[in-house]
Amino acid sequence: MPASSTARCLPGSDLSHFPHLSIDEAYAVIEPYFEVIREEYLAAGLKKTKRVRLFIAPAMHDSPRHFGACKDDGSAILLAPELANAPDPVVLAICAHEFGHATDFLYPGEFVLDHGGPAQRRPKDQIDDKQWSKWLKAWHQREDDVIELTADAVAHRVMGVPYGYQGPCWIQSFDAVRARPMGLR
């Protein structure tokens, strides 16, 4: 994906003048952001996030607005090397969002939406097995929008503040306030 398409998605951020980074160079830039966010999740008591691995994957930037993904078992976050050239609030928000997915997948059924606020965590040890089985079945059947909104809500819970979406491509940023539009992929 050419840098110019990335620049169109992040108004005020002309990324076209940045050099193309190798995977190793991008990893060296992105990894400290990744670790800062991971520390927030660990501090929130989400110990399973310690084992989430970071991979830099050029295929993640298959469209101007895609910079990352999380494996659906929560074991790995894949980030595009182009993310290394994005503004700090964008890199941090995208890392927080992907860690939101990882947490949701590592703790299946434990996090639920709460009317646009931070995710609520169900006390798994206080719920009988029959009720938990019902919740887990529903968790496995969620629609894509619910999965994305849950990642945002988990990040909001952990970070203490929500991030928003900005620009014509709706990129996550701690500098933005617009809510995620439904159907965004």
β-bridge mates for residue 48, sequence order? none
Query: What's the pLDDT at 112?
Result: 94
How far apart (Å, rounded) are the C-alpha atoms in residues 71 and 1?
22
Contacts of 180 (CB under 8 A, 6+ apart): 148, 149, 152, 165, 170
Enter the tokens of residue 79: 């980030």
Classify each residue of 110-128 as buried b or exposed e, where b means 16 or more C-beta atoms within 10 Å of its C-beta: bbbbeeeebbebbeeeeee
pLDDT tens for the chain, 185 residues long, are 444 445 566 655 555 556 688 999 999 999 999 999 999 999 999 999 999 999 999 988 877 678 999 999 999 999 999 999 999 999 999 999 999 999 999 999 999 999 888 999 998 888 899 999 999 999 999 999 999 999 999 999 999 998 888 888 888 889 888 888 888 87
Query: What's the pLDDT at 176?
Result: 85
Closest CA to 85 of 170, 171, 20, 12: 20
Q: What is the pTM of this model?
A: 0.91
Closest CA to 81 of 134, 9, 28: 28
Query: What's the pLDDT at 6?
Result: 53
